[in-house]
Amino acid sequence: MRPLRVMTLNIWNDDGPWEDRSHLIRKQIKNLDPDLIGLQEVLCGASVDLLEELLAGTSYHRDFVKATTDWPRQGVILGNAIASKWPISERLELGLPTREGHNGRAALICKIAAPFGEITFASTHLSWRLDQGNVRERQVAVIAERLDYELLGGKFPPILVGDFNTSSNSTEIRFLTGMHSFGGRSFFLRDAWAHAGDGTKGFTWTTENPYIPIWLEPERRIDYIFVGLPTMEGLGDILSCKIVCDEAENGVWPSDHYGLFAELRVEPYS
């Protein structure tokens, strides 16, 4: 049995040359053939459905959670999405705390009926401002509180993906990876890139991509795939992780972010 393939990408809503960008994203999805996909900055409304545009003609099961209605186009909302090769048996929408006057944030948590056991899979997008580390701390605490339930007795470790808008040495990411506590409370997931990347910094937000204004934010890794500890049999062990959607065609890039792709073990070690 092949490993479980997981992909995450912030698709940059439909900014820039969307028609050409969406073609590249669809091409990546076809070539990588992920089993689970987490997408961020997905637009949905009467006049637009980016999830349908990207996955039309495929057999992926799909779900979407609204993050904010504060979007310039009337009747259009922005949120996070999940796509799965297998049926989604349960879903939970988590509204995340934000600073007053700023866009809403959310996490979508789905139970996936995979042939080798149920998987808890979550997609999220945290607040972006550099001065809102304390907001992101509250956001990851809410997500961790819910995923704590999924860490107890599950047959496959939970998977959390998304755009966390902060670097790997931040308090928020250190909390998620067991290196910092909030109010005496701790949590632990493995960072797939740190565990099985190629040893580079793994920037997913970089001025190599011309869609990134060089003055806006520093280059760093802000997109992640997190996985709980593998079972005693090795299920969920992180086998590989790589950056994807990081190449242009004819001057067009898939998004302003690079994506991540990881493979996880689904068979017991002998």
What DSSP letter does each residue of 46-81 carry, written as one string? TTEEHHHHHHTTS--EEEEEEEE---SSTTEEEEEE
Sign of CA dihedral 201, 207, 209, 215: positive
pLDDT tens for 230-266 read 999 999 999 999 999 999 999 999 999 999 999 999 9
pTM value surpassing 0.85: yes
Q: Higher model confidence: residue 254 or residue 76?
A: 254
Give the per-residue pLDDT at 216.
73
The residue among 244, 256, 249 whose CA lies nearest residue 213 is 256
CATH of domain 4-264: 3.60.10.10
pLDDT tens for 192-232 read 999 999 999 999 999 999 999 877 788 999 999 999 999 99
For the chain, the average pLDDT equals 93
The residue among 83, 80, 78, 82 whose CA lies nearest residue 43 is 78
Q: What angle do CA 165, 171, 173 make, to 5 degrees?
A: 55
Q: What's the average model confidence in pLDDT over 20-29?
A: 98
Q: Domain locations in the chain?
A: 4-264
pLDDT tens for 40-75 read 999 999 889 999 999 999 999 999 999 886 677 788
